[in-house]
């Protein structure tokens, strides 16, 4: 099973809302990632969790708050977003290396977020 699942597939939220994106994998991977992808651009790394601990935060605004409740789950809590935060949010997982990110990363299908 090389599947990473993400819910919801689509999300529309207002600038005052609070919502959460969810990601799950059952490959035994101990590194999980959040990426943001705008149209016609490559994915941009936001956060990396290694062994359920946040190891990389790429200077992401505090209105994005990640959480890794266990080795299979990764959440991204959203609050007071801006319209420019509208994008495809991708979750990925990989075997973890000590200190950071692993090699082949397996991606979920993404959540298409629209902030109005």
Partner 1 sequence: DQQVKQNSPSLSVQEGRISILNCDYTNSMFDYFLWYKKYPAEGPTFLISISSIKDKNEDGRFTVFLNKSAKHLSLHIVPSQPGDSAVYFCAAKAGANNLFFGTGTRLTVIP
Preceding omega of 4 cis (within 30 degrees of 0)? no
Distance between CA atoms of residues 105 and 85, nearest Å? 24
What 3-state class would DSSP assign to 85?
Answer: helix
CA angle 107, 108, 114 (to 5 degrees): 120
Structure tokens at 76: 């991204």
Build a one-symbol-per-residue string for 14-33: x at contacts with partner 1 by CB under 8 A, - elsewhere: --------------------
**Which of 7, 41, 114, 116: binder of partner 1 (CB under 8 A)?**
41
Report in angstroms how near the CB of residue 81 gets to partner 1 at its nearest. Answer: 21
Q: Which of residues 51-110 bind partner 1 (CB under 8 A)?
A: 56, 58, 90-92, 97-110
Select from 12-20, 42-50, 65-73, 78-86 the region that touches partner 1 (CB under 8 A): 42-50
- Cis bond before residue 108 (omega within 30° of 0): no
Contact residues toward partner 1 (CB under 8 A) are 4, 6, 40-43, 45, 48, 56, 58, 90-92, 97-110, 112
């Amino acid at each position: 099973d090389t599947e990473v699942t993400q819910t919801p597939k689509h999300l529309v939220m207002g600038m005052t809302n609070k919502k959460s994106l969810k990601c799950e994998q059952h490959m035994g991977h101990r590194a999980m990632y959040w990426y943001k992808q705008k149209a016609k651009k490559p994915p941009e790394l936001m956060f990396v969790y290694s062994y359920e601990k946040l190891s990389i935060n790429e200077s992401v605004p505090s209105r994005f708050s990640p959480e890794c409740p266990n080795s299979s789950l990764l959440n991204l809590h959203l609050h007071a977003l801006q319209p420019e935060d509208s994008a495809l949010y991708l979750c990925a997982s990989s075997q973890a290396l000590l200190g950071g990110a692993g090699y082949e990363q397996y991606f979920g299908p993404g959540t298409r977020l629209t902030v109005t």
